[in-house]
C-alpha cells in the first residue's frame, strides 16, 4: 500500500516536472524523512516553500517502520503515541478521524519452570513504586540504578521486610528493573542513565496505539497522501538518496550544496539536517564542509544513543492468553543452564502488538540487542522459541512460527541506534541538546544549516512527537525568518 502510493507519487512528480522547468534549486533541502524531517518538509511545503527532501533509505518513516506481518501489521520501530495532551502525533490522528486505541497494561508473570507467579500484584506494586521514584530525583545527580535500588530497598524494609531475605527474588527483581529502564531509555545499564533529566512526559495515556492502521499513517497524514490525498505540490521527495556532504558557505549568503552518494548535487538557500545522533557521531567530521564548530562537535560526542531491538514472530494462530505482556522471571536454579548463552537470560518479556492478532515481540536492549542483530537468524529463532516454550508452554503446545522479523537499528548505517537518553556526563553539559539544535548562520545572520531530530528536543527527546516538534520548530524558524 505504502510503496504503491510512493510509485504513484513519484510518477506524479516526474510528470509535473516534465511539464515545467525542473527546479534544480530549492528554498530548503531536508535531509532525512523520519518524523522530524517529514514534519519540517510538510510544514514548509504547506506554506508554499519549494522543498527537496532527500532520504537515504527506500522508505519514509526512519525510526518509525510499519510492516505487513501476521494477520495485520507490526511496528519494527516506534510502537506507541506517548501521551495525548499537546501531542502533534495524537492530534494528527484525531483531527483526521483515524482511530487510535489504548494498549491496556495487562500482564502475566511466568517463572522459568512454566508456572504462573501467583502474587503478580506484588511485582506490579514494586515495579510501579520504583519507576515512579524517578519523578523525585535526589538533589545531587547519581546513576539511576543506584538510586532506584536504594529506594526499592527502603520501601521493602518498610512494607515487606520478609522479602529482603529472599536474595534470589531481589536479584531477579533488580535485574528486571534494570531491563525495564534500559528498554525505556535504550541504555545498556541503568547505571549509565542519570537521575537528572530534562525529559518531560506529555500528559495522558502513554501507550496509545495506531493498531492496524500502523504508525506509517502519521506520515501519510503529514504528507497529505492519506486516502489518496494529492500530497504537497511544492515538495519533491527523493528516496534512496544518501547524502554524503553538505557544503554551507558560512562566510557568504551563497547557496548550500548537498552532495549525494550517486554524485547528484542539489542547491538551496538552506538545509535542515535530521539524521540521528548515531549517524552524526559516525559522520560529522566528513558530512559538513566547513566542519561544524567545536561546541557542536563536543555535544555530538557527549550525548549518547542506545539500542533497543525487537524480534517479532508470527504464528499459525493466536495460542497465547489475552494480555499485553508476558513477563519472565528466572528461578535462580535454572539460570546455570544458560551459562553458554547468558544473553538468553535477558529475554525478559514477550509482548503482544496491537496491529495483528497472531504475533509476539521479544524486546531486547543494549549489548544483547546488538548481539541479536548479528547472530544467525536460525539461532535467534531457536533460542527464542526455547524461551517461549520454557515459560509459556506448560499448558499449550506452542506451534512453530510462520514468520520472523528482526530489527537492525544498530547495524543500519542510517540510524546507528534507537534513541537518545540523558547520561551521567550531561551534568557537565546541561545545554547539550539546545546546542545541538542551534542553527548555523550565514554572513547576513540567516539560518543556513539547521538541525532537527529527537536528540535536539530537550524536553521530548526519544519520542516521535518530540522529533516531529523539532522539525516544526526548524520549519517555523525559516518561515518566521522570512528571508
Ligand X SMILES: Cc1cc2nc3c(=O)[nH]c(=O)nc-3n(C[C@H](O)[C@H](O)[C@H](O)COP(=O)(O)OP(=O)(O)OC[C@H]3O[C@@H](n4cnc5c(N)ncnc54)[C@H](O)[C@@H]3O)c2cc1C
Residues that bind ligand X (CB under 6 A): 31-37, 54-57, 62-64, 77-80, 82, 242-243, 274-276, 279, 308, 310, 407, 409, 414-415, 418-419, 453-454, 462-465, 467
* Of 2, 71, 166, 189, the one binding ligand NAG by CB under 6 A: 189
* Of 395, 397, 428, 482, the one binding ligand NAG by CB under 6 A: 395
CB of residue 424 to ligand NAG, shortest distance in Å: 13
Q: Which does 394 bind (CB under 5 to 8 A by kind): ligand NAG, ligand X, none?
A: ligand NAG
- Report whether 243 contacts 272 (CB < 8 A): no
Q: Distance between CA atoms of 7 and 58, rounded to whole angstroms?
A: 11
CB of residue 346 to ligand NAG, shortest distance in Å: 5
- Which residue stretch of 76-84, 157-165, 187-195, 426-434 sits at the interface with ligand NAG (rule: CB under 6 A)? 187-195
CB of residue 155 to ligand X, shortest distance in Å: 28
Q: Which does 71 bind (CB under 5 to 8 A by kind): ligand X, ligand NAG, none?
A: none
- Report whether 346 contacts 368 (CB < 8 A): yes
Q: By three-state DSSP, how is residue 3 classified?
A: helix
CB of residue 98 to ligand X, shortest distance in Å: 16
Q: Distance between CA atoms of 439 and 130, rounded to whole angstroms?
A: 39
Q: Distance between CA atoms of 173 and 330, rounded to whole angstroms?
A: 10
* Of 366, 401, 453, 471, the one binding ligand NAG by CB under 6 A: 366
Angle between the 294-302 and 277-287 helix axes, to the nearest 10 degrees?
Answer: 150
Residue 85, interface with ligand NAG (CB under 6 A)?
A: yes
Q: Which does 80 bind (CB under 5 to 8 A by kind): ligand NAG, ligand X, none?
A: ligand X
CB of 187 or CB of 415, closer to ligand NAG: 187
Q: How many other CB atoms are there within 10 angstroms of residue 466's CB atom?
A: 28
The three-state DSSP-derived secondary structure of 306-361 is CCEEEEEEECCCCCCCCCCEEEEECCHHHHHHHCCCHHHHHCCEEECCCCCCCEEE
Q: How many other CB atoms are there within 10 angstroms of residue 388's CB atom?
A: 22
Q: By three-state DSSP, how is residue 255 classified?
A: coil
Q: Distance between CA atoms of 153 and 159, rounded to whole angstroms?
A: 10
* Of 66, 191, 415, 468, the one binding ligand NAG by CB under 6 A: 191
- Which residue stretch of 183-191, 205-213, 322-330, 442-450 sits at the interface with ligand NAG (rule: CB under 6 A)? 183-191
Please, which of residues 109-168 interact with ligand NAG by CB under 6 A? 110, 116, 145
CA dihedral for 109, 112, 118, 119, sign (positive or negative): negative
Cell 518479556, located at residue:
349
Cell 547520561, located at residue:
423
Give residues in contact with ligand NAG (CB under 6 A).
85-86, 96-97, 110, 116, 145, 178, 189-191, 203, 346, 366, 394-395
Amino acid at each position: 500500500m505504502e510503496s504503491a502510493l510512493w510509485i504513484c507519487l513519484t510518477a506524479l512528480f516526474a510528470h509535473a516536472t516534465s511539464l515545467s522547468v525542473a527546479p534544480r534549486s530549492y528554498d530548503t533541502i531536508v535531509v532525512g524523512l523520519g518524523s522530524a524531517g517529514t514534519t519540517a518538509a510538510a510544514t514548509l511545503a504547506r506554506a508554499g516553500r519549494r522543498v527537496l527532501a532527500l532520504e537515504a533509505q527506500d522508505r519514509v518513516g526512519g525510526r518509525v517502520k510499519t510492516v505487513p506481518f501476521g494477520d495485520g501489521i507490526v511496528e519494527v520501530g516506534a510502537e506507541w503515541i506517548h501521551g495525548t495532551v499537546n501531542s502533534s502525533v495524537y492530534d494528527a490522528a484525531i483531527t483526521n478521524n483515524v482511530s487510535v486505541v489504548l494498549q491496556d497494561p495487562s500482564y502475566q508473570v511466568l517463572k522459568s519452570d512454566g508456572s504462573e507467579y501467583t502474587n503478580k500484584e506484588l511485582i506490579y506494586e514494586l515495579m510501579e513504586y520504583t519507576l515512579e521514584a524517578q519523578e523525585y530525583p535526589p538533589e545531587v545527580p547519581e546513576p539511576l540504578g543506584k538510586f532506584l535500588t536504594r529506594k526499592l530497598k527502603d520501601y521493602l524494609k518498610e512494607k515487606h521486610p520478609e522479602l529482603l531475605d529472599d536474595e534470589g527474588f531481589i536479584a531477579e527483581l533488580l535485574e528486571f528493573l534494570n531491563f525495564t529502564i534500559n528498554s525505556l531509555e535504550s541504555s545498556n545499564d541503568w547505571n549509565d542513565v542519570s537521575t537528572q533529566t530534562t525529559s518531560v512526559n506529555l500528559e495522558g495515556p502513554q501507550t496509545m496505539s495506531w493498531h492496524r492502521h500502523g504508525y506509517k499513517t502519521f506520515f501519510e497524514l503529514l504528507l497529505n497522501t492519506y486516502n489518496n490525498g494529492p500530497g504537497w505540490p511544492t515538495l519533491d521527495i527523493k528516496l534512496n538518496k544518501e547524502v554524503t556532504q553538505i557544503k554551507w558557505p558560512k562566510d557568504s549568503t551563497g547557496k548550500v550544496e548537498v552532495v549525494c552518494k550517486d554524485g547528484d548535487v542539489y542547491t538551496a538557500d538552506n538545509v535542515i539536517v535530521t539524521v540521528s545522533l548515531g549517524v552524526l557521531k559516525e559522520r560529522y567530521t566528513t558530512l559538513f564542509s566547513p566542519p561544524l564548530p567545536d561546541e557542536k562537535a563536543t555535544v555530538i560526542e557527549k550525548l549518547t544513543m542506545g539500542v533497543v531491538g525487537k524480534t517479532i514472530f508470527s504464528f499459525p494462530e493466536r495460542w497465547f492468553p489475552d494480555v499485553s505482556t508476558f513477563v519472565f522471571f528466572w528461578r535462580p536454579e535454572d539460570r546455570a543452564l544458560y551459562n553458554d548463552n547468558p544473553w538468553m537470560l535477558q529475554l525478559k518479556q514477550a509482548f503482544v502488538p496491537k496491529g495483528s492478532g497472531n504475533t509476539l515481540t521479544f524486546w531486547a536492549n543494549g549489548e544483547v540487542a546488538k548481539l541479536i542483530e548479528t547472530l544467525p537468524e536460525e539461532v535467534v529463532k531457536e533460542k527464542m522459541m526455547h524461551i517461549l516454550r520454557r515459560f509459556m508452554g506448560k499448558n499449550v503446545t506452542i506451534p512453530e512460527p510462520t514468520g520472523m522479523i528482526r530489527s537492525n537499528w544498530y547495524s543500519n548505517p542510517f540510524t546507528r541506534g534507537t534513541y537518545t537518553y540523558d547520561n551521567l556526563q550531561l551534568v557537565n553539559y546541561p545545554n547539550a541538546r539546545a546546542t545541538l539544535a542551534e542553527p548555523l548562520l550565514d554572513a547576513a545572520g540567516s539560518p543556513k544549516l539547521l538541525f532537527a531530530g529527537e536528540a535536539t528536543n530537550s524536553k521530548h527527546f526519544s519520542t516521535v512527537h518530540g522529533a516531529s516538534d523539532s522539525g516544526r520548530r526548524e520549519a517555523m524558524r525559516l518561515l518566521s525568518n522570512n528571508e
